Amino acid sequence: MKKLIYLDYASTTPVDKRVLEKMNNYLTIEGIFGNPSSYTHAYGIEAKNAIEKARINIANIIGGTEEEIIFTSSATESINLAIKGIIYNYFNCQKEYVITSTSEHKAVLETCNFIKKLGVKIIYIQNSNTGIINLNLLEKQITNKTILVSIMHINNEIGTINDINKIGNICKKKNIFFHVDATQSVGKYSLNLKEMNIDLLSFSAHKFYGPKGIGVLYIKKTKDKIILSPLLHGGGQEKGIRSGTLAVHQIIGMSTALSIANDELKKEKKRIKILKKKLWNGIKNISGIYLNGNLKNSSPYIINIGFKNIFNKILMIELKNIAISSSSACNSNIHNTSHVLKSLGLTEKLIHNSIRISLGRFTTKKEISITIKNLYLAIKKIRKNL
């Protein structure tokens, strides 16, 4: 495949070579390949020890404890387990409301659609036009019938950052479970979960240079233990909450990737901030450009922009040497328009004029310069042919 400039890190990241090297030790006959539930021999015990070390490492990095970490296959599974797990266990006529936002990832929205069919009432908080959840609006919606609030930390399409600290405090005050989809923030933002009022938090490794197919659900250890009904029944792994043989190599990969991301976090964020600024300063004067979300309260890793009267699919064809997307990877296969941009109040036309550019570990200054130049040329060419 001809190498394109990769600017779609929010959809996935390549596995870091240092991560792959570690993972390779956990697959073959020469390595630690045992089933971690096989306690009768050293192969299993070694695998179990490796997993528990990884669990402690991941917990330490996000400010939790190892008892609070459940391994899953993806952020999608973690989100399903968090939301359905709470509903199956705590839903009754006294507690029937779940609050979420209109700009959540499909993993949250479709899970909410599913539980709606079970009789749960869903309240959707509308974003402000800058893409941030209005905390007063959220607080007003909470009643004594609310079971759960599920709000994302960083939006995957526009990069806006919600104040999960404050939302957690509101939920704690009202004695309501709070779930955070932190898929776009773990590995890029430091979290200290022991200091935060977050009951459940989901993420996956492939957003921070770990492998695809592995995720975490953090479940806070509280005085009144949070009990989730499992979605998968079987061998009772992960304290019976998530059955299935643990993917040792994936877990090791996730733990290694998170350590690297955490060690490089500050320096990397500073570098990416400079690159995003360079990109925005380089294109902000293109006529008809608009920014979706806001620049001030947003992740340096994601920028969502549009060019009036330029259809994004045409623009992406013109930018054939650059891998970008029109919205999230989940939306780009179907003819859906972005629900996130819709929730900002954009017209269908402006939604179809918008693109997402997301930066990451291997993005260079040179790539940003080429992207700026190519954007100018592509837009000039398209406008000439209009």
Give the binding site for ligand PLP (CB under 6 A): 74-76, 105, 107, 152, 156, 181, 183-184, 204, 215, 328-329
**How many CA atoms within 13 Å lie on the side-chain side of 118?**
18
Q: Which residues of 326-363 are buried (b: 16+ CB within 10 A; e: fewer)?
A: bbbeebeeeeebbbbbbbbebeeebbbbbbbbbbbbeb
- C-alpha pair distances (Å), 94 with each of 56, 90, 112: 38, 10, 18
Q: Which is nearer to ligand PLP, 34 or 162 (CB)?
A: 162
Q: Which is nearer to ligand PLP, 217 or 228 (CB)?
A: 217
Sign of the dihedral defined by the CA atoms of residues 245, 248, 252, 253, in that order: negative
Closest approach of Cβ 76 to ligand PLP, in Å?
A: 3
- C-alpha pair distances (Å), 304 with each of 19, 158, 276: 30, 5, 11
Closest approach of Cβ 282 to ligand PLP, in Å?
A: 26
3-state secondary structure of 128: coil
Q: Which is nearer to ligand PLP, 160 or 183 (CB)?
A: 183
Whether 330 sits among the annotated catalytic residues: the reply is yes
Closest approach of Cβ 24 to ligand PLP, in Å?
A: 22
Which secondary-structure segment (H or E) carries 215? strand 215-219
**How many CA atoms within 13 Å lie on the side-chain side of 143?**
10
- C-alpha pair distances (Å), 296 with each of 5, 211, 273: 26, 31, 11
3-state secondary structure of 277: helix
Q: Which is nearer to ligand PLP, 146 or 204 (CB)?
A: 204
Q: Which is nearer to ligand PLP, 185 or 259 (CB)?
A: 185
3-state secondary structure of 58: helix
Closest approach of Cβ 220 to ligand PLP, in Å?
A: 19
Among candidate residues 93, 112, 171, 330, the one labeled active-site is 330
Which secondary-structure segment (H or E) carries 323? strand 322-323
Catalytically active residues, by annotation: 330
